[in-house]
Amino acid sequence: MEITDIKQWYISNFELFEESLNGSRETPFHEVRRSAISKFSELGFPTPRHEEWKYTNVAPMLEHKFKLPTEVAKVPKEVLRDFTFDTLKENLVVFVNGLFSEELSNIALNSDDIIVSSLRNAMVNHADLVYKHLGRYVSFEDESFTALNTAFTNDGTFIFVTDNKVIEDPIHLIYISDGDTELVSHLRNLFIVGKNSQVKIIESFHSLSDTTYFNNLVTEVFVDECAIIDHIKLQEESINAFHISNSQVQQERQSVYRTVNIDLGGGLVRNNLNVLLNDEHCESHLFGFFLGQGTQHIDNHTFIDHAKPHCFSNELYKGILDDKARGVFNGKIIVRPDAQKTNALQSNKTLLLTDDASINAKPQLEIFADDVKCTHGATIGQLDDEAMFYLRARGIGEEMAGAMLRHAFISDVLENIKIEEVRERMDAHIIERFTKALKS
């Protein structure tokens, strides 16, 4: 299939999508949708000739004509059991194939101060609030997937916390993909956290079968003064899924944004995580772990923009690549001319387990201020022979010893998941994946 054909496919789908919109068509945001689709038609899909897409070729994705889902698929409630956490049964927002499922969700929080809702509903019920923020933080000027998402923006999660509220219970967003048709979902999330407020958000992506589908996600996060967000993203998509995620975080004075991103699934995964430190004394902590097996391709791009002085950022990404998996890490840090007293740390470590696995790492610093402390480090290697020998000398089998060492390798990422049950679950999942790899 020609690339221009597939581009045309998405553009012609937009016309169908427009017709299905009804009321939402009359809002000013619809103009944004229109300009986004024309931007997309101008940009087209990225090729490896784009510097940002040098190591990730989206060509396999362009072989499919993904369709927009028409109605919320029926999924029995029991399947949720595998994806939910016992301690977090409240505040559950569930999407099936990119559409909000009222039936499966359970939203306890809802008042004028705290809104947890599907974006589709929020666009009707809290229109002023939504349109005040939607599309304000993320730019689609040079990112065609964001443009595509913006054009098709219709559903996703909207979380709003007003000033001075601390929400103890985490909000859990579950995205389930199912069905045998090749579907695309352009999920759009918008998280707005007011001054001095705190919230914990967990997002998890699952699939019920090995189907091929395309999740094109855009998340906008606004962290107002002195607010704190803990944001955990667990991605366990189907092995045939395409997962493209663009997140834009904007932090105001003294705010804190902590995130842990875990990628275990997906055939072709690309995460763009951009953080703008828009005022002084902000703190960002970015942690990530990716496990690639089979022919998975997992690409993590992070971009921390130190626009103002006295900010701190800390980044640690670790990866394990097995079989024929390919990994990409691109960590960009820019320190703008006036961002003095910036402290930025970045570290990226990758284990390669086979000769067919590969990693392309590019830690990138661009510094325009002199009174700064910036470091980055990247290592690529294999399990330490001496550590292996130590364990084996104590009677631990080779397979077990390897699993133990790998587990130890990722522990300094996992320990940043502060919700115990989530951490333990992820730990168990990853160990299971290690041992599964050993058996095959």
Partner 1 sequence: MSTEQETIEQFTKSEYKWGFTTDIEEEFAPKGLTEDTVRLISGKKNEPEWLLEWRLKAFRHWQTMTEPKWPNVKYPAIDYQDAYYYAAPKKKKELKSLDEVDPAIRETFDKLGISLNEQKRLSGVAVDAIIDSVSVATTFKDELSKHGIIFGSFSEAVQNHPDLVKKYLGSVVPYTDNFYATLNSAVFSDGSFCYIPKGVRCPMELSTYFRINAANTGQFERTLIIAEEGAYVSYLEGCTAPMRDENQLHAAVVELIAHKDAQIKYSTVQNWYPGDENGKGGIYNFVTKRGICSGDNAKISWTQVETGSAITWKYPSVILKGDNSIGEFYSVAVTNNYQQADTGTKMIHLGKNTRSTIISKGISAGHGQNSYRGLVKVAKNADNARNFSQCDSLLIGDKCGAHTFPYLEVHNKSAKIEHEATTTKVGEDQIFYCNQRGIDTENAVSLIVNGYCKEVFKELPMEFAVEAQKLLAISLEGSVG
> Distances in Å between the alpha carbon of 86 and those of 81, 92, 282, 419?
9, 12, 33, 12
Of residues 373 and 436, the one with the C-beta less far from partner 1: 373
Of residues 172 and 308, the one with the C-beta less far from partner 1: 308
Of residues 41 and 340, the one with the C-beta less far from partner 1: 340
Of residues 366 and 399, the one with the C-beta less far from partner 1: 366
Q: Which of 159, 269, 353, 414 binds partner 1 (CB under 8 A)?
A: 353
Residue 293 contacts partner 1 per CB under 8 A: no
Q: 90: which 2 tokens?
A: 């409240």
Q: Which of 8, 47, 364, 411 binds partner 1 (CB under 8 A)?
A: 364
Of residues 90 and 338, the one with the C-beta less far from partner 1: 338
Q: 153: which 2 tokens?
A: 């923006």
How many residues lie near partner 1 (CB under 8 A)?
Answer: 36
Of residues 32 and 369, the one with the C-beta less far from partner 1: 369
- Provide, rounded to whole angstroms, the least separation between the CB of residue 337 and partner 1: 7
- Provide, rounded to whole angstroms, the least separation between the CB of residue 315 and partner 1: 13
Of residues 88 and 378, the one with the C-beta less far from partner 1: 378
Write each residue from 381 to 420 as x if it is in contact with partner 1 (CB under 8 A), else as -, in one continuous string: xx--------------------------------------
Q: 242: which 2 tokens?
A: 């395409």
**Residue 242, strand partner residues:** 214, 268
Residue 324 contacts partner 1 per CB under 8 A: no
Helix (H) or strand (E) holding 29: helix 29-43
CA distance 359 to 178: 31
Report how far apart the first and last C-alpha atoms of the chain are (Å, whole number). 34
- Please say whether the beta carbons of 376 and 346 come within 8 A: yes
Residue 47 contacts partner 1 per CB under 8 A: no
DSSP structural state of residue 344:
E
DSSP labels for 96-152?
A: ETTEE-TTT-B----SSSEEEEEHHHHHHHTHHHHHHHTTSS---SS-HHHHHHHHT
Residue 438 contacts partner 1 per CB under 8 A: no
Residue 354 contacts partner 1 per CB under 8 A: yes
Q: Which of 126, 341, 362, 392 binds partner 1 (CB under 8 A)?
A: 362
Query: Please, what's the largest Cα pairwise distance for the chain?
Result: 71
Q: Which of 5, 366, 420, 424 binds partner 1 (CB under 8 A)?
A: 366
Helix (H) or strand (E) holding 315: strand 312-321
Q: Shortest CA distance to 368 belongs to which of 290, 282, 307?
A: 307
- Where does this chain touch partner 1 (CB under 8 A) — which range of 250-258, 273-281, 362-370, 403-411? 362-370
Q: List interacting residues with partner 1 (CB under 8 A).
A: 51, 55, 337, 340, 350, 352-382
